[in-house]
Every structure is written in structure tokens, then in C-alpha cells.
Amino acid sequence: MLDGLTLTVEAGETVALIGPSGCGKTTALKLVNRLLDADGGRVLVMGHDVGREDAIALRRKLGYVIQEGGLLPHWDVRANVETVPRLLGWDEERRRQRSSEVLGMVNLPAGEFGARRPRQLSGGQRQRVGVARALAADPPVLLMDEPFGALDPLARRALQREFLDWKKRLKKAVVLVTHDMREAFLLADRIAILDRGRIRQAGTKADLVERPADDFVREFVSEAT
Amino acid sequence: MNLARYFWERREEILALTGQHVVLVAVSTLLASAIGIPLGILLTRRRRLARPILGIAGVVQTIPSLALFGFLLPLPLIGGIGARTAIVALLVYAMLPVLRNTYAGILSVDPAIVEAATGLGMTARQRLWWVELPLALPVVLAGVRIATVVSIGLATIAAAIGAGGLGVLIYRGIAIVDNRQILAGAVPAALLALAADGLLGILERRQSKWRDS
């Protein structure tokens, strides 16, 4: 489905993939953590071809945030956040310390929220736990698949503001899949507009607004300006 | 009153046969679970096998139980008069609900959650033990509960091939046209089924309290 997609994301940079449904943005993201494998082409993470790496080890090095959090409903918040550290074999003390740290970062103090189950949280809180889980093992790369898509406008705006704050502090390479152009403009340094598996145009907000490559891009951008 | 006194006078025999009955059901249900749960998991990994195997299990279940006991009698190793043959027959019937519920239970786990677990870097085995089985457990347990209740009823027929159990009283009662004796077998069997249903139902609900998320 994807064809001719070339994109580089630098450390500390957030790149948004945006386009109509079926354009291949989620597919592109899943090629990075090998939930899907490409028939051709390469994906490099920190200079290494992911196709040559062990998929399990690779995924533990990549933070992954999905819509509605994708939390394990039978585990409490702390256990959810500690998933990857546990997979990496961290000892309990280190895990607890780290989960308290990242939960604090997403404004869910571990003392108050750590023992709750996902169903005892609001949508926004679940999404925060999803972000904390992705950050727990301090991965250099963060993959976010419509992370704020299922939230009400108020919660979405609050999380978007917090995202900008984390972004400044954490210096991760972030790939953000979204269908919301406003969100892309707000959160991303660069934006790639996809259509039917191809990049129509990639660039900064100024590039897209002032120098749209074609009508498709112009129309997409005009909805958010 | 008359019936209660009859039960009381025969309490030792009733208790001994109830004990035999429980052993027949417990052994066959445990074996059915020990085979059915892993097989059900395997079918979710080999989907193409699921239809034929669930189909065969379904057909086997339609064999009238008395006939199945009869078919098993002449077989070497598993056949013959006694509890062993009865356990094999009960196992055949108990297996389908366990198998089917395990298969359906694992497939009913939200695919988004399974994919999230994969995306975090769980191996297939970690995903099975930490995510799929715990989330499927209420449905698997429902299968075990159905298997147990069905077996308690079916096990009364096992007396026909000399396997003991509460069926002994029922058959004897029929032979001598004594309703009290039939009831001495039927009432404890019904109570056993109710008790097993209730207990396993509590276990099941305890496992499903976080499911409605």
C-alpha cells in the first residue's frame, strides 16, 4: 500500500504523518516497530536496518503510544507503566522509581493513581498512562498513533499542551500519526502529507501554507488555517 | 418425612456413591481441561484446524451417551467394565465446552490490546500468559463450569457399565420400581450440579470484574 515514502526524523524532532484514512500513515508507523514488514525498502532506526534486528528487542527500544492508550485492563496503572522495564528485566526498585517518575511527568501522581485499574480512569488519564508507559524505558524514539484522537476537545487540548512540554524536555525523535491538521501544526516540527501511500509534500508549517505543492495539499492545509 | 427418613437410613451408601460420583466428574473434567485448554489455545494459533476439529468435537457430542459407553467397552486399554471407561466417556463430552470456550475466549480478547502488547515487545509466550489467557479466563472458566455440570448428569449413566456413582441408586430404583431409591440417586446428583454451578459461577465472576472496561 505504501510506495515511495522517504522520510528522516532527527533526534528531538517531531514529524507528523497526516492524510485521509487509508493513506498509509499507520502502516508507515507499524513498519518502524515491525508490527508490519515491508516487501521492499528499508527502515533505519539510529542507523540500523530494523529488518535485520530482532523484532522483540527492537520494540522494547521504541516507545509506542496508541489511541485510547491500549492499556492492559487487568493490570493497574503502575504495572502497565512498568511493562517494558519488566520485559527488559529491570529489578523492582528501579522499576518502581521509574514508574513514579514518569507518572509524575504526565501529572498522575503514582501515590494516587498507581493502584487504579484503567477502567477507573477518564479517557484523558488513560491516554496519559499510555504516554507514561511509552516513556518508561526512556526510548530514544517515540511512535504515536493518533494518541489524542479519541479524546474530547478539552482533554485533547490539555494533552497537546503537555506534549509540547515533554517534547522540549525529552529530546526524542517522535513520529506522530494524526488526521487532524491543526494538531499536526501545533505539535510537529515537520509534517508529511500522505495520500494513497505516497508523500504529497513534507515540510514545515510555513512550507505547506506558503508553498503548497498541489491542490490536494492546499485543500488539506486550508482546513486548519 | 418418609423420604427424609429413607435418605437418612441409607446415608452411608448415598455418601459413598456421592463420593464416587464426585471422583468420576472431577477426574474427567480435570483431564478434559488439561487437554481442552491447550488444544483450544493451539487452535487460535492454527486457525485452519479450528473448523474441522471443533466440528469433530461437536459431532462426537451428539453420540447418545449410553451408546458411547457401549462403544468404549470392548476397546483395549480404555475399555472394560469400571470407572476408567466411564471417565474416558465423560472426558469426551466435557472436552467440547472447554475447547470451544477456550478458543472463543482467546479470540474475544480485544485485538487492539493484543497488538499493543506486541508493540511493547512481548514475545508470543509472554503475550499468551500475561494478556490473552488472563483476559480470556472468564470465558474459559464458563466452559469448565458447563463441562462440570454436564458431567454430573451424565455420570449417573456410568453406573450402567459398573463405574459406580449415584447412578447405581437410580438404576436399582428403576429395576425394582422404587421411586424413593431413584430419588436417593437423583436428588444428590441435582444438588451436586447446583453446587458446582454456583461455586464455579462465583469464581468466574471474580475473574471478570475488570472485563467491562
pTM, 2 dp = 0.85
Contacts across the A-B interface (CB distance below 8 Å): 58
B113–A118 C-beta distance less than 8 A: no
Report CA-CA distances (Å) from B47 to A203, B19, B50, B124.
45, 40, 5, 16
Grid cell digits, residue B213: 472496561
**Chain A contacts of B130, Cβ < 8 Å?**
72
B121–A87 C-beta distance less than 8 A: yes
Provide the pLDDT for residue B84: 86
pLDDT above 90: residue B127: yes
B116–A64 C-beta distance less than 8 A: yes
**Chain B contacts of A26, Cβ < 8 Å?**
none
Q: Tell me the shortest Cα–Cα distance from B38 to chain A, in angstroms.
A: 22
Residue in B closest to A83 by C-alpha: B120
Choose the weakest-confidence range: A39-48, A77-86, B88-97, B121-130.
A39-48
pLDDT above 90: residue A32: no
Query: What distance in Å separates the CA atoms of residue A17 and residue A44, rounded to the nearest whole number?
Result: 17
* Residue A116 near chain B (CB below 8 Å): no
ipTM > 0.85 for the complex? yes
Provide the pLDDT for residue B213: 40
Of residues A167, A116, A125, the one with CA closest to residue A148? A125
* Residue A87 near chain B (CB below 8 Å): yes
Give the tens place of pLDDT for each residue, A87-139. Answer: 999 999 999 999 999 999 999 999 999 999 999 999 899 999 999 999 999 99
Exposed / middle / buried, residue A39 (Cβ in 10 Å: 0-12, 13-18, 19+)? exposed
